Every structure is written in structure tokens, then in C-alpha cells.
Amino acid sequence: MAELFVEPGKVVRARELAQKAARGVQSFIDRHSTVAIERTVLRLLGIGGAGARGAPLANLLVDKLRDAKVLHKGAAWWMGRALKASPGRDPLQAIERIAARPEKLPPLTPAEDAELRETIRADARAAARELRDKIEKRKELKRSLQVGSFPGAPWKYVIVATGNIHDDVEQARAAAQQGADVIAVIRSTAQSLLDYVPHGPTTEGYGGTYATQENFRIMREALDEVSRQLGRYVHLTNYSSGLCMPEIAYMAAAERLDMLLNDAMYGILFRDINMQRTFCDQYFSRRICAFAEIIINTGEDNYITTADADEAAHTVIASQLVNEGFAHLAGMPEELIGFGHSFEIDPAREDTLLREFAMAMMVRELFPRSPIKYMPPTKHKEGDIFFSHAYDVMSDLVAISTRQGIQLLGMMTEAMHNPFLMDRYVALKAASYVYRAARHLGDEISFKPDGIVARRQREVFDKALALLEEVAKDGMMAAIGKARFGDTARTETGGKGLDGVFERAPDYFNPFLEILESDRRAEGASGRAPLGGEGQA
Amino acid sequence: MSEKQLIRPYGDRKDDGVVQLSFVLPVPVSEKAKEAAAQVAKKLGLSHVLVASMEAAGEDYSFFVVYGRTHLQLDYGAIEVPVVAHRKHPFDELNDVIERDIGRKIVVVGACIGTDSHTTGIDAIMNMKGYAGDYGLERYRMFRAINLGSQVEPHALVEKAREVEADAVLVSKVVTQRDVHKEDARTLVDAARQARIFDKTIWIFGGPRVDHKTALELGFDAGFGPGTKPSDVANYIYYRLLERQGRAPAPQPTAHGTPDATIQGAEKP
């Protein structure tokens, strides 16, 4: 069904404005790097271990280089320089040695400098090839299995969050057997504010499980097994948000995750992370996602858990278009951009179902090739599990009849505790029923061109367009400063992580960026990635 | 002491003691599993146990819906729960009585403390818009409401409260895993004592898993759970301020014609 009642000219205009706003930030991004980006480069170059007290080596090295005030040249360059100065030494010691007295190092001749870069570029190419192989392996498994309950059905997405990765595995396996298509491992509370990624398997967490590379590996391995057993591919997702967006993206790529929450503005608005930091980090992380063909899920659903869903609906649309602009600049094709929104209008009001239809159809049609990520109600959940299931079923109905791509099933126990096994079971059973019962409902019905749904779409889109006019005029950073998104104002120099942002030197070296931006180099700025997507049909 | 008032759960007939349960057992579906579910219910003290539904929740788990009857009964009259009780003024009237009795704006600072980033609760109370059609504190002419937002360190909140000479501090905690909300609340109380503003400030704790009793135990003046409206908090602060100034108001008619209130609640257990 998914009908759009908005004038096509307005959609074109809104998209132009959003792209303009994203481009306005891109020039800043292209001149800067961050500690998280540099740590990712080191991880790609093989520095994935942790020091004696669990601190990741990539952090130790980047901190040394930052303290020595030489990071602006790029961590990869210093890695090359250190290995050249102390061949055969372990990289940590080598970098420690030179970072202690960088001014004492003999200058390199241009030929030596070029040679150093070529050596590291070769390492980077080898690492990228290795990564590519893992991604191909992931795609191969998926191709060999059924995907989703039937063609056109949203992927059923559930969360596990025990804090213990081994318990998570148990629950994920049970959920997969009950019909889940996507498992999200919720992160430990406030991991997004850690400026490092914890190391190794973890069995303790608050409200979730730490995202670590080893935890990713453990869960993916279990899901591979259960996917083969069921003959249906079970996706794994996590959160590339917070202060370690690019590192998580890299780890997810290496451990064959399928999707990541990744939003250009989420961290700024909802975690008070500095906007300069987030804009740089989202770019590099999305470059990795484009390379690894990881579907990103944007976070617009959160806007209407903070602001009122009915009044702030236009900010969802405006932000999705901005997120699209940023994603395109990072080389992401439509098929990999899972735009987020949610079923959040206060259930005490009338005709919320029609208003939710209006929104869901509009998002579906604005991004016809993207796997839309649809969130269930959370804000108005109050602890009545019985009503909660009824409320969630309405969201299931909208999801199937408007062909949303990925549906997070009801957060039945929102405001109480993490979902229990039985909550997940009932949610999956109900969603399967609704998908089956309403499989072709969307093909059979259409809405009046001047009815409540059509009028609502036009009203919301007009407001989104007005907001984008303003954002394009003022610039993204100023617009966020005026609380235009998610009712939250942030300043350019406020928030966490600004001290991790630095201007690149003219001879800044990042061999992975070179590989990841190869399309940009070939086609000029803002080109699309040459890789095909793997979104849903 | 009130008279005995014996009550029991009520399903279909008064005092039938019917309860419904759902739970998962970590065993595959089987007749044996069903019997195990019935035994769980019996060991909980239920009789007339009916395992209404057993379904496979994954290969190794069984999901049950069970009914049974409990024989317990309790004296409702003997239950004592401290509640925040106060009379309520409508919006305009509250502004008027604050102006009359306090003579200046009431300063309130609010925040989600610790690692908590769930601002829905604090926003519902403080933001202009309010909650469920009830205006937030920012909207009141006689309140100065400062919302520090999410993930505020307890020390930073105390510092701000001292700086603006807050009359009341509102703390919201949604995340309660492993009682992290209590830990953060204690840190806050300690910080306030150290900064010597604990006694002169009204401390209010809110959140979906917060009740008045817990808040009192943690050293707060009041706790507000789910469903609290901004006007509840606004009225509470006003009466508490009067009470602290030793000026619990004498009942008198107001400009709006409603009888003025006397503070009734917030007695410590």
C-alpha cells in the first residue's frame, strides 16, 4: 500500500535542503580526525589487544601520540615511523619510545616518507582484503538460507540484555527458535560514554551487555549455528553510537554483524556527545559500514520518545533526510540505510492508528529502497503487560501492512525491566500471527486522497520542509544549538569528547580512509559506494 | 487502629482467591514439564491449579499460563503506607498563593543523575509542556525551573543547587538495575550534606520504580512514582516550604473561592 500524499516537488526540495545541510558539515569532517578514528586505524592495522590492566592498546598508543601533540599526522604514519625506528620491536614499545621524544627523531627524506606510507598502505590493503573475506563469508551464509518469515515481512527484531554474554546467547537462541530474525544485544548502560571499547568476553553489565569484539564473536558464532539449524538467517546488531562509533563499526565488520545503530546526530542529542566529535566519527564509521555492507539503523525513533510524537513528527522526517544526506556523503547506498521511526502517539488519543499509518507510509515511500526500521511504542508504556501486548499488536499491524523493513517487537516491559523470555515469546507469537493474518492487507486498501491520513502527511511534511529550510540556512550546528531536533539544544563546543577532535595536518596519513573513500577519489565528492547493498527486496 | 478488613484476590466470585501466573521453565515442552509447572504453582501455595497453556518458547524452554487459588487473606486496615498527601491548588491559584505566602519565585533544580539518560520523567515534570495536560513547572509564573537534563553527576547537581539557592531539588532515576538508583541517591545526599545545603533544601526523588517509602529511607523528603503530575510536585513543594518555615497555613478562602489547604502528609515514618 504505502501511499504518499505529498507533492513530489516538495520532496525534491526537502532532499536538496537536507543534502545542503549535510554538505555544510562535510567540509569540517574532511579537515578533522578524532582519537576514535585513529584508534580504529590502529585496530585495522592489527593493534587489537589490551594492556596489562585491560586498557586497549589502541587507546594507549593514541593517547601517547596525542599527549606528544603529534597525532594530527595520523596514527598510521606514527606506526610506520615507529616500526622504521625500531624494527622488530613490538608496536607499543616502539611508539612509546618515539612518542616520548618525537622531536629527537631524525627527519625523513621525501623518498623515505613515501616509502613508509607505501609500506603501511600495503598493510592496510591486506587488512581490508581480510575484512572483505569475512564479509563475503557472512553474505554467503545469508544467501544460502531463508531470510525473514516470508518475502515482504518485516524482520522481527528482539533484544537481549542480560549483562552476561553467555546468558545472552541462551536467550538469543531461544528467540531465534521462536521466530526472531534479528538479535540486538543491548549495551551496558552508559557504554556510549566510554572513550574506549572494553576488551574480551564480559559477564557483568548494567541494563545490558558490554559491546566488545569478543562478545560480538561469541554471539555471531551462536547465531550462525542456530541459523543453519533453522534454515533461516538470524541477523545480529549492536550499537555504533557514542564515543566509539568507528571502532564498533570496525569490530562489527570483523565479526560479521549485519546491522548497527548508527545515527549522525543521536549521540549529540541524547548522549550529549560533542557534535564535532560525532560528525567526524559518524562519517568514518559509515564509511566502514558502506565497505562492510552493514545496514545502519538511524535513531529518529528517539526524537519522539523525548518530544511529543504527534507534535514532533516532522523532526523525524527532517532528520531522516539529513541522515540520508550524511549517509550518501559516506558512500552508503539506499539499501543499507535503515531509517528509524516509531509508533509512539499517546494511546489515550483518538485515531492514533490513522496517524501512525500516515507516518509509516510516508517514511516507507520517501525511502522506497531502504529497509525502514520501525520501533514499537515505549514512551507511553506503563507496566500493564496485558495492555502492552495489545498496544504492540497495533504496531505490528501497521508494520506489516505498510511494509516496514525491520520491526523491533514490543518493549513489553518498558519502564519495568528487560524483557523476560516469556515476554519475547508472546511478542514473537503475536507478530507472527499479525503478519500472517494481514499479509496482503496493504495491497488491498488505499486511503482517501483528502482524508485524515493524507492531510496528516501533508501537514507533517510541510513542517519538515520548513524546518529543513531553516537548517539549510543556519547550518546543522546552529540548528542543533536551537533545539530543532529532539527538543534538545547542544552547542558546538559543549558535550563530551571534544578533546578527542583534532585538525588534520596537511600531510595527515590515513591509509584506510584512502581505501574507504576510493569512490570519492574516483568520482569526486559525494559519490556512491561501488558496492551493492543487501537490503531486503 | 482501624477495624479489620479482610481481603483476598478476586477472580470470578468474591474471596475466591484466584490469581493468574505466567512463567517459563528451562525444559522442553512435555507432560512432565506441565506437571512441573503445576507443582511450581502448588508450592507457591495455590490450590485448584490449572495449567491453561504450555507452549514451546524455543527448544529448551516452556512457557506456561497457570491459574490457581490462594488461601491467604490479609487485613487491609492494618497496612500502613506513607504517602505524599497535600491539598491541591489549580494552576493559577497556586501561583497566587505562592506569591502571597512565599513572596518570590520558588527555585527548583532537576536532573537525571548518574549514568541515567532517560529524561522522560524529569521532562514531564519540569518542561513547559508538562504531562497528561498538566503544565510543567517551567510554565508556572512563580517557579523558576532549571532542568539540567541527563547524566548529571550528583556533585554537579549539588553545586548547581547551591549556586542558584534552590528551594527544591528534583532527581529522576529510571535505570534501577542492581539498585544503582539508590547508590546514586545516597551519593547525592552525601554531597548535599557536605555542601551544607541538605537541611535547607527539599529533596524529591522520582521515577517509575520509586515510591515514597523508599525515598524517605534514602533521606529524601518525598518520592513520586509513575503517574505523578507536575501540579502534584508543584503543590507539594509549596506546602513543604510553608511547613519548613513553620507557617503551615491556616485554612482561609482564596481569591478563587476554594478553601485553602493545610499540609497533611509527608510525615516521616
What pLDDT shows up at residue A266? Answer: 87
Average pLDDT over residues A109-114: 96
- Mind telling me how many Å the CA of B241 is from chain A's nearest CA? 31
Identify from B120, B127, B134, B179 which residue to disrupt to test chain A contact, counting A C-beta atoms within 10 A and taking the largest count: B120
Which residues of chain A make contact with B57, given a CB cutoff of 8 A?
Answer: 174, 178, 421-422, 424-425
Looking at residue A241, its amino acid is: S
**For residue B258, what pLDDT is reported?**
41
CB < 8 Å to B226, chain A: 382-383, 415
Rounded to an integer, what distance in angstroms lies between the CA atom of residue A207 and that of residue A186?
A: 8
Grade residue B86 by pLDDT with cuts at 50, 70 and 90: low
Asked if residues A324 and A369 have their Cβ atoms less than 8 Å apart, the reply is no
What residue in A sits closest to B60 (Cα-Cα)? A174
Q: What's A393-455 look like in SS3? A: HHHHHHHHHCCCCEEECCCCCCCCCCCCHHHHHHHHHHHHHHHHHCCCHHHHCCCCCCCHHHH
pLDDT, one tens digit per residue, over A193-204 is 899 999 999 999
Average the pLDDT over A489-513 and give the result: 94
Q: What are B108's strand-pairing partners? A: B145, B168
> Do A1 and A307 form a contact (C-beta atoms < 8 A)?
no
Interchain CB distance below 8 Å, A175 and B178: no
Q: What are phi and psi of B149, to 5 degrees?
A: 80, -145
Tell me, yes or no, if B151 comes closer than 8 A to chain A by beta carbon. Answer: yes
DSSP character at residue A50:
B
Q: Quick one: DSSP state of residue A335?
A: G
- Which residue pairs from A418-421 have beta carbons closer than 8 angstroms and sit at least 24 positions apart in sequence? A418/A159, A418/A161, A418/A162, A418/A186, A418/A207, A418/A208, A419/A158, A419/A159, A419/A161, A420/B24, A421/A171, A421/A174, A421/B24, A421/B57, A421/B58, A421/B61, A421/B63
Q: What was the pLDDT predicted at A416?
A: 67
Contacts of A263 (CB under 8 A, 6+ apart): A241, A282, A296, A297, A298, A299, A300, A323, A340
Between A42-51, A291-300, A415-424, B231-240, the lowest mean confidence (pLDDT) is in A415-424
- pLDDT at res. A379: 81
Q: What is the largest CA-CA distance in chain A?
A: 76
> What integer is the mean pLDDT of B76-98?
83
Give the integer Cα–Cα distance in Å for A287 and A327. 9
- B134: confidence class by pLDDT, cuts 50, 70, 90: confident
Q: Say what the pLDDT of residue B45 is.
A: 96
| Ranges A179-183, A377-381, B232-236: which has the least confidence | A377-381
The pLDDT score that the predictor gives to residue B185 is 86
C-alpha dihedral, B211 to B216 to B218 to B221, nearest 10°: 100
The reply to whether the predicted model has a pTM over 0.90 is: no
Q: Are A264 and A273 within 8 A, CB to CB? A: no
Whether residue A382 and residue B129 make contact (CB cut-off 8 A), yes or no, is no
- Which residue in chain B is spatially nearest to A175 when comparing CA positions? B58
How many percent of chain B have pLDDT more than 70? 86
Q: Is B129 a catalytic residue?
A: yes
Chain-centroid distance, C-alpha A122: 29
Q: Indicate yes or no: CB of B208 within 8 angstroms of CB of A173.
A: no
Residue recorded with cell 527458535: A177
The rounded distance, in Å, linking the Cα atoms of B76 and B55 is 37
Contact B63 A308 (CB under 8 A): no
Mean pLDDT of all residues in B102-107: 94
Confidence category of residue A380, pLDDT binned at 50, 70, 90: confident
| Inter-chain touch A422–B150, beta carbons under 8 Å | no
pLDDT for A280 equals: 98
Q: How distant, in Å, are the alpha carbons of A323, A346, B86, B105, B231 from that of B133?
A: 33, 12, 20, 23, 10
Q: Among A91-100, A278-287, B214-223, which is the least confidently predicted range?
A: A91-100
User: Tell me, what's the pLDDT at A62?
Assistant: 95
Q: What amino acid is encoded at A277 in this protein? A: R
What's the pLDDT score for residue A418?
Answer: 77
Q: What is the mean pLDDT of chain A?
A: 91
Which residues of A belong to the active site? Answer: 266, 301, 373
Residues listed for chain B: 269
B157 compared with A487, residue with greater pLDDT: B157
- Dihedral over alpha carbons A72, A75, A76, A78 (to 10 degrees): 90
Condensed to tens digits (0 to 9), the pLDDT of residues B136-148 reads 898 899 999 998 8
Handedness of CA A274, A280, A282, A285 (dihedral sign): negative
Q: E strand or H helix at A185, and its extent?
A: strand A182-185
For residues B230 and B89, the answer to whether their CB atoms sit within 8 Å is no
- Which residues on A lie below 8 Å from B63 (Cβ)? 421-422, 425-426
Q: Residues of chain A whose C-beta is under 8 A from some C-beta in B?
A: 163, 173-178, 189-190, 193, 206-207, 270-272, 305-306, 308, 348, 379, 382-383, 415-416, 420-422, 424-426, 429, 487-488
Is A260 a residue whose pLDDT tops 70? yes
Predicted confidence (pLDDT) at residue A533 exceeds the cutoff of 50? no
Q: How many residues does chain A have?
A: 537
Query: In terms of Cα–Cα distance, which of A65, A64, A61, A63 is closest to A48?
Result: A61
Residue-level pLDDT at B249: 58
3-state secondary structure of A268: helix
The pLDDT value given to residue A230: 97
Among A175-179, A342-346, B246-250, the range of highest mean pLDDT: A175-179
The DSSP bridge pattern shows strands B62-70 and B18-25 to be antiparallel
Stronger pLDDT, A306 or A384, i.e. the higher one = A384
Query: What SS3 state is found at A374?
Result: strand
Please give the DSSP secondary-structure letter assigned to residue A205.
-
CA B133 to chain centre: 19
pLDDT of residue B252: 44
Does residue A220 register a pLDDT over 60? Answer: yes
Say how far apart CA A264 and CA A284 lie, in whole Å: 11
Nearest CA in chain A to B64: A422
Amino acid at residue number B82: P
Q: Is the pLDDT confidence value at A532 over 50?
A: no
> In this model, does residue A425 exceed pLDDT 90?
yes
Whole-number pLDDT of residue A151: 93
Residue from A200, A254, A194 nearest A43 by CA: A254
Residue A158 in contact with residue A182, Cβ under 8 Å? yes
> What are A97's three cell numbers?
619510545
Residue A37 distance to chain B (closest CA, Å):
25
Give the pLDDT mean for A240-252. 97
pLDDT confidence of residue A286: 98
User: By CA distance, what is A379's nearest residue in B?
Assistant: B120
Q: Are A327 and A296 in contact (CB under 8 A)?
A: yes
- For residue B122, name the pLDDT band (cuts at 50, 70, 90): confident
pLDDT digits (tens, 9 = 90+) for B151-187: 788 889 999 999 999 999 999 877 666 677 788 888 8
Which pLDDT belongs to residue B81?
Answer: 76
Question: Per the CB < 8 Å rule, is A421 touching B174?
Answer: no
The answer to whether the CB atoms of B55 and A271 lie below 8 A apart is no
Cα B147 from chain centre: 19
DSSP chain B: -PPP-EE---SSSTT--EEEEEEEESS-SSHHHHHHHHHHHHHTTEEEEEEEEEEESSTT-EEEEEEEEE---EEGGG------------HHHHHHHHHHHT-SPEEEEEEEBTT----HHHHHHHSTT-BTTB--GGG-TTEEEEE--SSB-HHHHHHHHHHTT-SEEEEE----GGGHHHHHHHHHHHHHHHTT-TTTSEEEEE-TT--HHHHHHTT-SEEE-TT--HHHHHHHHHHHHHHHTT-PPPP-B-TTSSBP---------
Residue for cell digits 494511546?
A347
Confidence of residue A495 (pLDDT cuts 50, 70, 90): confident
**Dihedrals φ, ψ of A510, to 5°?**
-145, 90
- Determine the Cα–Cα distance for residues A109 and A116; give it in Å rounded to an integer: 11
Confidence label for A327 from pLDDT (cuts 50, 70 and 90): very high
Give the pLDDT confidence score for residue B148 in this predicted structure. 87
Give per-residue pLDDT as tens, A508-525. Answer: 999 999 999 988 876 554
What is the rounded average pLDDT of the residues B188-212? 89
Arithmetic mean of pLDDT, A33-57 = 93
Q: Contacts of residue B209 in chain A, CB cutoff 8 Å?
A: 416
Lowest mean pLDDT among A180-184, A226-230, B121-125: B121-125
Query: In the predicted model, what is the mean pLDDT of residues B102-111?
Result: 93
Cell 610506520 sits at which residue? A80
CA distance B154 to chain A (A): 16
